[in-house]
Each structure stands twice: as C-alpha cells, then as structure tokens.
Chain A
C-alpha cells in the first residue's frame, strides 16, 4: 500500500488537492447551471410539484414585451458600460505622473470601486432626486428645467448606467495604471526619435503594449454589465413601469419577488442570459488556451 502511494504519488496527489475545491464548486456552481437549464422546461411556483411543459416558457418569452425591454436594456448596458474602458484609460493617463501627492489622488479616484453598489445606488438616487438632488440644483442654477431621471423611461437606464460607470471607470483606471507602469521606456524613446508624439504615440506605441490590460478591462466590464442587478434594484426596482429592467433583474423578479414565483420562467430567462454570456466566456477561454499552448 505504502509503496503504491510512493510510486503513484504524482498522479494521485493533484486529485487529493483538488477534491475539496472541485466538490464545492460542482455542488454550488456547475450542477446548478444544469439544474437551471432543466428547470426552464418546467412550470413551478416554488410550492407545489413541478410540471414539465417543454419549451412553453421559451415560447412565452418571445411574446413577452417585458422580456424584450430587458433584453434591449442589456444591450444598452453592454455598449455603454464599455465606455468605462476608454474613460479609465484617460483617467490613468491623467494620473500617471510623479507630482507630489499623486498617490492620494490615485486612491481617491479609485475609491468608488471599493464601496458597495448598494451605497453607489443610494448615492446616485439622492444625486438624481428631482426636488433636492444636486444634479437638479445644478441644472436649475443654469436655468434648465429639473428632470426626474429615474422616473423617465427614456433616461432611466442611462442614469443607472452612469452610476455604474463611476466605480467601473475606477476599476479600469487601476488596470491601466499598472499597465502603464510596465510600458517599455526604450520603445517610448524610440517612438520619440521617430517623432511620434501625443495621439500617435498613444495609438502606435503605448496601446499595443497595454493590450493585456485592455483585455482584462473589457472582460470585467462585460461581465459587470451582464450581471448588473444591484443598482437597478436599489435605484428603481426596474421602474418606471419596468422600463429599466435587465435580464438579471427580470429573472429575479419572476422567480423570487413578491409578485413572482415562476421558477421555471425565471430559469428560462437565465438560460438566455447564459447563452449571451457563453460568447464571451468562449472568447476568454480561447485566449487562455492560446496563451497556455503558446507560452
């Protein structure tokens, strides 16, 4: 027995090390994914028994205008949330100096990322408050009419995304600040000799070297956009009349809210979101795979 262990130690040991992690991860993450997919073919109110209804939930989705609104908002989130990447880059360029006190400035710029989205949501709700919010105080000061951003179906999603961009820009900024640290100074000098300055330098010399930072920034931003939930729940509860819902929020509402408890329908929405996400996950994994094989 002992010698078997001795001879095969290198084969068995990794699985012993992996066992607890794989167990937990499978029970709480991997299996539930398949359970959700399975549940999407059932009708279940969380109380009685589950009834198999085939693809009925999906057929209902196609005809559900709230679902369409949520899907549309998810697309808006995806596109606009990515503004955090260039915004973070410019914030990083702005702060990548060595003047006195710059470290404190960097910390303060980064600070929104550290606080909870619940707090960010509350802060921005007060900021947008139609009667006393700072935004409207400023608008009125400049002679504009006040607007209740969170009560206007045309503005509400943008208002929430703006709140989300605040911490997300900070996140991207930190990624780029670190990236800028490791930009090769010789290449910059070489660029300077070739008379590349400003924008040209940024585009042709700096950005290519920041590619890993950009990749991570894009990935975390897309994930953040598709997971957006906290801000919507805190700031509007999906309103007004459901116009700020996204898929992640709608599925929660359908499954668990006071007026919901349609577990199967919620699961079907989850599957749609998963499919969208798979496009990105596949890209990430492909890149990782290439790096592993190449390096």
Chain B
C-alpha cells in the first residue's frame, strides 16, 4: 500500500515536471563534445544561451565522440533532436540528401553570415541552400621542432627542394624528419591531401574527391611520385602503421623526430609532453608546383537544424546565438581553435594567431575540409587504407591506383 502511494507521488511529480518543461520550451541538442575541453566549452555556450533566453530549457545529450558518428544515423531518423552536431563538406551530404537536415538560409540572412562566414560558406552549401552553422575550424600544417631546426641551422622550408634538403640534414643528424602514426589511417589522408594540393591545386583536389578524376590520371601519379620521394628517402617514422597519432607524438616530444603534418589539436598534447612555444613551431606546407595557389586544410565542425525538430523556433534562436561573433570568440577560446565568424576574435596564442593569418592571408587557393570529409565515406576508407599501404609498400603503386580507380567507378 505504502509503495503504491509512493509511486503515485512519483508519477504526479513526473507529470508536473513534464508539464513545466513543455511550457518553457525544451530545446534538445545531440552532440559529440565528449572530450573534457569541448565538453566544458559547449556547456558554457548552453549556459550563456539559457541566461539570455530564460524561457528555453536546453536538454543536451552528450555522445561519445567516435560512437556519435554511427549514432547520428539512428537518432536522426528514429528520434530526432532539434539540433545536431556534425561536419561540413561531403560528410553532410547523406543527411541533406535523405532529408534529415533542414535548410536555415533565414538564419544566415538575419545574422549577416553570407559575408561574415564567407570562407566557410561553400562547405555549408548544397542545392544552393545553407544547411547549418559552422562554429569552429582548425588548421593543419607542419608542426616542427623549432629548437632542432635552429640548432642544425635549418631554415623553414618554403619550397619542395628546401623541404627535401631539410629532411636530409635531419637524417644526417640521426633525426627522423617526419613523425606519423597511421594505425587509424586518417593521418595518411592528411599527408596525401597536402601533397596533392601542392602538386595539383585545390580545384584538382575537389574534383578528385568528388570522383570526377580517375585515380590512374597522370596528375595523381605526379602526387604519388612526390609521396614516394618522401617514402623512399626514409622521411617517415618507422613502424608508423603500428602507431596511433597520439603514440607518434612521443618521438616528436623527445627529439627523435622533427616534424608532424597535423592539425592544431596536436599542440595541446605536445605541450603536455613537455614542448613549449620556444621548442615547437608551425609552418605552412611548402610549395611544390610553382605558381599553384596555396590551399589549406581546415576541417569545420558544425551544428544543424534537423528536419524532425519539434522546436524549430528556439532551435533557430540557438543557431543564431551560436553564430554570433562574441559567442564564437568565447567558445573557440575554450576550444583552443579558430572561430568561423570573421567578426570574432582569436585567442592570443602563438599557433592560433599564426594559423589564423595563414588561413586568411596565405591560402588564396582555398580551404579544403579534409580527405575523409570531402570524399564519399566508403571511398575515403578505401583511399586512406591505400595511402597507408603505399607508405609501407610503395612498390605496389600500380596495383593500389588500379584498386582505387575500380572503387571510384563503382561508387560514383
């Protein structure tokens, strides 16, 4: 009897709570900010939004970063939140095509984003519409041991010959030029992208990742020949196929290797391993084919209005909030990354300042998302696996290119 009574109270309470939250307007957001810094950063964004909009109650469902990539496919069709985290570029395409994201051109217009976010606009556009708000992006580049370069008298290389010469000097001193861990494949995608962007340019990169160019094309071969020069020259860390990207940080930190072609997120763990602003530096991947405009990789993370959103009004308020310069400044300060809104400020950090200027002033060729975000998912996995294989078995180049071409013909 007593128990039943208790249950009734619980039920009544639940009813009251459900009632109030329905009145307040609940905004459901699903996201993947599971690492400590992004988690805290986004919580601050939510708190700020709720403070400005006391009538909205934000419910944030946090997913594991890796698990999220599979999860989003389920919840978008089964039980859609109002807002979902995702990525720009081709990664967004399946959801737009399946009608699971909703266009938000009105938010873009109201907030003046067409001009403020001009650089990331192409990655958010499909069928002439805007499908989300980019909230952060981060640069890629060559992170290097500034102190080692100085000790050996190596100047920052600005073209391919200098780059090769720098590597030779490092090798002569018993230092592996480039550290890399290709166990989870995508790091090899970054190397390929830079070689390809520098050998053939941004437009070629986009055409190749869109499946418009054969993998047996001579221009791809030219990229691969440059790749092979690094491989045959022993530029890369030994046993890289056994290492994750994090494990490959250690040789860089303890001076066994001097360069890492990586994203900005490698800075924090490298500093944790003992490097600082005087020992760690960043330079733009050097020119290979003279005259080709420099293009960069800068993957953009985004939030989207879902097609199944129940609270579209508040969702759009949130998206507008997330696009605001002041919000993006604070958010990216906490993330240690770059804001997408040109009106936002950049944290005073050596690497971010340098990257911000690099992306805005020295990347006339354009900004690519990344190999696995620009190309179709299935092709991306086959491609990155091929790059890893090529890095260990360069003699299989012919077979590898043929396999990629076969996959391209099937998938596009």
Contacts and interface: CB of A to CB of B under 8 A. Distances in A.
Interface stretch (B193-201, B223-231, B277-285, B380-388): B380-388
B72 to A, nearest CB: 10
B129 interface: no
Interface in A228-284: 236-237, 239-242, 253, 256-262
Interface string B33-57: 0000000000000000000000000
Given A45-B94, A259-B380, A262-B378, A130 B242 contact: yes
Given A65-B403, A259-B380, A47 B239 contact: no
A256 B70 contact: yes
B333 interface: no
B42 to A, nearest CB: 22
Main secondary structure of the interface of A (DSSP, over half): loop
B185 interface: yes
Interface string B365-383: 0000000100001101100
A261 B386 CA distance: 20
A237 B392 CA distance: 17
Interface in A114-129: 128-129
Given A45-B94, A48-B98, A241-B389, A150 B242 contact: yes
Contact of A151 (B184, B239, B372): B239
B92 to A, nearest CB: 13
Given A148-B241, A148-B242, A258 B388 contact: no
19 contacts: A46-B73, A47-B94, A47-B98, A129-B242, A151-B243, A236-B183, A237-B183, A237-B184, A239-B185, A240-B388, A241-B241, A241-B386, A241-B392, A242-B385, A256-B70, A258-B377, A259-B372, A261-B73, A262-B378
Nearest to B399: A65
Contacts of A242: 385
A259 B389 contact: no
Contacts of B238: 130
B100 interface: yes
B70 A258 contact: yes
A151 B73 contact: no
A122 to B, nearest CB: 13
A253 B382 CA distance: 12
Interface in B58-80: 66, 69-70, 73-74, 76-77
B378 A240 contact: no
B377 A261 contact: yes
Given A47-B94, A237-B183, A259-B378, 17 more contacts: A45-B94, A46-B73, A47-B76, A130-B243, A148-B239, A151-B242, A236-B183, A237-B184, A239-B385, A240-B241, A241-B385, A258-B70, A258-B377, A258-B381, A259-B372, A260-B377, A261-B377
Among A45, A128, A259, residue most surrounded by chain B Cβ atoms (within 10 Å): A259
Interface residues of A, number: 27
Main secondary structure of the interface of B (DSSP, over half): helix
A47 B73 contact: yes
Contacts of B378: 259-260, 262
Nearest to B240: A151
Nearest to B390: A241
A258 B241 CA distance: 20
A66 B69 CA distance: 23
Contacts of A236: 183
Nearest to B100: A47
Interface of A: 45-48, 60, 65, 128-131, 148, 150-151, 236-237, 239-242, 253, 256-262
Contact of B381 (A148, A256, A259): A259
A241 B239 contact: no
A32 B14 CA distance: 37
Contacts of A60: 410
Interface string B395-412: 000000001000000100
A239 B242 CA distance: 9
A51 to B, nearest CB: 14
Contacts of B386: 241
A240 B392 contact: yes
A151 B241 contact: yes
A60 to B, nearest CB: 8
Contact of B388 (A241, A259, A260): A241
Contact of A258 (B69, B243, B403): B69
Among B66, B70, B241, B381, residue most surrounded by chain A Cβ atoms (within 10 Å): B241
B377 A259 contact: yes
Nearest to B98: A47
B236 to A, nearest CB: 12
A247 B62 CA distance: 32
A265 to B, nearest CB: 10
A47 B242 CA distance: 34
Closest 4 CB pairs of A and B: A259-B381, A151-B242, A151-B241, A241-B389
A239 B392 CA distance: 12
Contact of A239 (B69, B100, B183, B372): B183
A48 B66 CA distance: 23
Contacts of B381: 253, 257-260
Contacts of A130: 238-239, 242-243
Contacts of A241: 241, 385-386, 388-389, 392
